[in-house]
Amino acid sequence: MPSSTSKLQVTLFRGFPGTGNYTWSPFATKLEARMRFAGISYRTDCGSPRTAPRGKIPYLTIESDDNQPPQTISDSTLIIKDFVENGTAADLNAQLSPAEKAQDLAVRALLEDRLYFLQGYEKWVQNFYKQRDHLFSAMPYPMRVMVGYLAYRKTTQTLYGQGTMRFSAEEISSFRDEIWANLNGLLTTMKLQRSGKDDNEEPFWVLGRESPTEADAVLFGFIVGTLICYSCPESQKTVKSFPVLVEYATRIHDRFFPDYTFSDGTESH
């Protein structure tokens, strides 16, 4: 990455065109939140997994004014790590105790390495056509069918190998609900701890600190991604049933994303 003293032009590729809105990807929103926490200016573009270094969305390009060649970086966690190591973004977890660092990592792993696959089953197996037609909406219908089938086959193979599809639909649903219920309980506790310290408008954070940690960017991304995604209606209903989850995301949205609109997840076509 260019030196921290150079002026950066950051372009985030989210897989979909448009500005002023979130995408279904919790990882894209995680990365946007993390950059906004750090005050990093960026613009968004569509891009494609075919041009991403690891074949993954999101990814970004960084251009500087110090005659360095542009860099393309993928994987939201590694992008954030590069920003921190370069000094472009502060280390949000630098002041955490060892126990707090473990808690922060546990929340991130619960979402990215557990909930992601459980919701992947809901999207790709239980609501395949909605998922396919949204992700590949720019493709002509015959190509959408072919590419959708290939994506479905690859995803279900991953879900079986990873273990999710070795459980019943009812068990998977129960696992998802348990995660959201416990995250709601954690956030409720942290909100109560801040009672009387704010004006009911400022964000409260998942570890109860005065500022966000890395887990907050991830949790915000997953809540938003669930609320706007109509290929996971069961998860969306669950999240909406926990007002504190919605309030947590709404406060962060109001503070850091005032230029974005919040869809209610209603199917638009």
**Domain ranges within the chain, ordered by starting residue:** 8-86, 98-256
First to last CA, the chain: 41
| Per-residue pLDDT tens digits of the chain, which is 269 residues long | 554 445 779 999 999 888 899 999 999 999 999 999 999 999 999 998 888 888 889 999 999 877 778 889 999 999 999 999 999 999 999 999 999 999 999 999 999 999 999 999 999 999 999 999 999 998 999 999 999 999 999 999 999 999 999 999 999 999 999 999 999 999 999 999 887 665 668 999 999 999 999 999 999 999 999 999 999 999 999 999 999 999 999 999 999 999 999 865 545 43
Q: What is the pTM of this model?
A: 0.93
CATH number belonging to domain 98-256: 1.20.1050.10
Looking at domain 8-86, what is its CATH homologous superfamily?
A: Glutaredoxin (3.40.30.10)
DSSP state of 54: T
Strand ranges in the chain using DSSP code E only, listed in sequence order: 8-13, 43-45, 59-64, 71-74
